Amino acid sequence: MKAPPDTRSTVLGLYRRILRTGRSWKGGQEEREYIEREARAQFRRSAAVRDPTEVDKLVQEGEQRLEYALHYHIPYPRLHHASQFPRRYTLNALQVEPSGAPQSKDPDVAAKLAAATERRRAKLERARSEEGNAS
């Protein structure tokens, strides 16, 4: 049983938009390849879905991920189940420290999260040293 023509065109349109976004992504070759690889994997994984409500749900999820990627300039999925940046807050904003790095099973995402955490730690250290020099 084939999907209705309007559903098929919606799904294919979303797929084309994602691939076009990947081709024009300014984040670098690695991120462009990730977008293309992830789109293919997700669409192949969902190819057997025939229930119209489930298809609509998947299309909505794909559009939402695309919007997040375009808005935040991050192609990786948002971790809804975990706090993105667990922190320990103190009165001084410069003393905000990550209490742990977010985790992911996807090695590409895990590497990006680890790099972002390391950049954040380095930034905090620079801010602390500048604060110490100013005193």
Phi, psi at residue 97, to the nearest 5°?
Answer: -125, 140
State the burial class of residue 11 (Cβ atoms within 10 Å of its Cβ: 0-12, 13-18, 19+): buried
What lies within 8 Å, CB to CB, of 125 at 6+ separation is: none
| Band (32; pLDDT cuts 50, 70, 90) | very high
The rounded distance, in Å, linking the Cα atoms of 121 and 27 is 22
pLDDT for the residue 135? 59
- Contact criterion met (CB below 8 Å) for 58 and 46: yes
Separation CA 69–CA 39 (nearest Å): 13
Q: What is the 3-state secondary structure (H, E, C) of 40-96?
A: HHHHHHCCCCCCHHHHHHHHHHHHHHHHHHHHHCCCCCCCCCCCCCCEECCCCHHHC
To the nearest whole number, what is the mean pLDDT of the chain? 80
Distance CA 135, CA 123 (A): 19
Res 34: pLDDT = 92
- Tell me what pLDDT residue 128 has: 83
57-92 pLDDT, tens digit per residue, is 999 999 999 999 999 888 888 765 555 555 544 444
> Quick check: 27 and 73 in contact, CB under 8 A?
yes
